[in-house]
Amino acid sequence: MEKEKKKKATYTLPDFITQDNFSNYILPYLTVGSRGPKPYMESHTIVNAIFKVLSSGGSWKILDGFELDGVKLKSSTIYYHYVQWVNDGCFQTMFEETLKVFLCNNMRDTLIIDSTYIRGFKNQELVDYSGYKKMNCTKFHSLTTEDNIIAKPFCFEMGNNSDYENIHLYQETLTSMRDGFGEEAYLLADAGYDSKEMKDACYAAGFTPVININNRNSKIKRQLEEPEATIYKKRRRIESTFSWMKKYKGIRMRIDRKLTHWMSKVYFAAFLVNMRLLFV
């Protein structure tokens, strides 16, 4: 008899934030006024309106006249609350605090780093022309675990910067996350990170670097040898997390002029990708 193949667990990204999920995982990290009359629009409705903008990738004006939870939305009201939560750091706190649920044990041994480019416009903060991508863009780096948990989006920078220009930020971030991994931990990265400074930063943070060899300007083409070659195969998993994040069109193309406003959308999208495991 043929052995039955085990089906892999599949998870779908949420397309709506239910009241239970909102109360359990989002509301504790939002700043909500405790004085004055009861607002005509609940925080749950406001968050779902923000989620609609994140999913559609449009401007806040698309909310005008849209009805949600029996309430007609006003883009100015939703934007006001969004800016208030951005200034209070609510979305970043929401992401970082819920991440502790997934990194509460040190059973993992692999962390993956990569960067992605986001199309932008010239009048936006931290946007410049990238000769590599042939477009105006910004970029950010992200750390992902071997089981597709986004550990940290960080190092937001102009699109024409190389992957290893901000080594000090990598080392600080890796050092802060070292306690969530086992005794022998690896950091996987593609050839864009292949530099002595990057490897030194990994060792200083307590990670063993497994970085693909950059054969540029080299006559001898080299490849990773075992066991690094087998370990490096896990690097493709970070591409899945980037793909999931970019299913939200507000991440795929940046329309926010201020960097902090767009960064909060990135944290919110990363939060939603991780919470696919817990949302009911």
User: How many angstroms separate the CA atoms of 156 and 259, rounded?
Assistant: 9
CATH of the domain at 150: 3.30.420
Domain shared by 132 and 214, yes or no: yes
Q: Grade residue 117 by pLDDT with cuts at 50, 70 and 90.
A: very high
Q: Grade residue 264 by pLDDT with cuts at 50, 70 and 90.
A: very high
User: How many angstroms separate the CA atoms of 118 and 173, rounded?
Assistant: 22
Domain shared by 19 and 84, yes or no: yes
Give the domain extent around 229.
106-245
Domain shared by 92 and 119, yes or no: no
Domain shared by 66 and 174, yes or no: no
What one-character DSSP code corresponds to residue 130?
A: E
Domain shared by 77 and 171, yes or no: no
Q: Which two tokens stand for residue 55?
A: 């999913």
Tally of domains in the chain:
2
- Report the pLDDT value the prediction gives residue 98, as an integer from 0 to 100: 87
User: How many angstroms separate the CA atoms of 113 and 250, rounded?
Assistant: 22
Mean pLDDT for 13-39 is 85
Q: Grade residue 80 by pLDDT with cuts at 50, 70 and 90.
A: very high
Q: Grade residue 1 by pLDDT with cuts at 50, 70 and 90.
A: very low
Q: For residue 222, is it within any domain?
A: yes
Nearest Cα neighbor of 152 from 78, 220, 205 is 205
Query: 208 φ, ψ to 5°?
Result: -90, 115
Domain shared by 125 and 239, yes or no: yes
Report pLDDT digits (tens) over 188-235: 998 888 888 888 989 999 999 999 888 775 667 777 888 888 989 989
Contact 267, 250 (CB under 8 A): no
Domain shared by 55 and 139, yes or no: no
User: How many angstroms separate the CA atoms of 207 and 199, rounded?
Assistant: 9
At 223, the amino acid letter reads Q
Helix H or strand E segment including 54: helix 43-56
Domain shared by 240 and 268, yes or no: no
Average pLDDT of the residues of the chain: 86
User: How many angstroms separate the CA atoms of 149 and 270, rounded?
Assistant: 9
Domain shared by 174 and 231, yes or no: yes
Mean pLDDT for 53-66 is 91
Domain shared by 112 and 31, yes or no: no
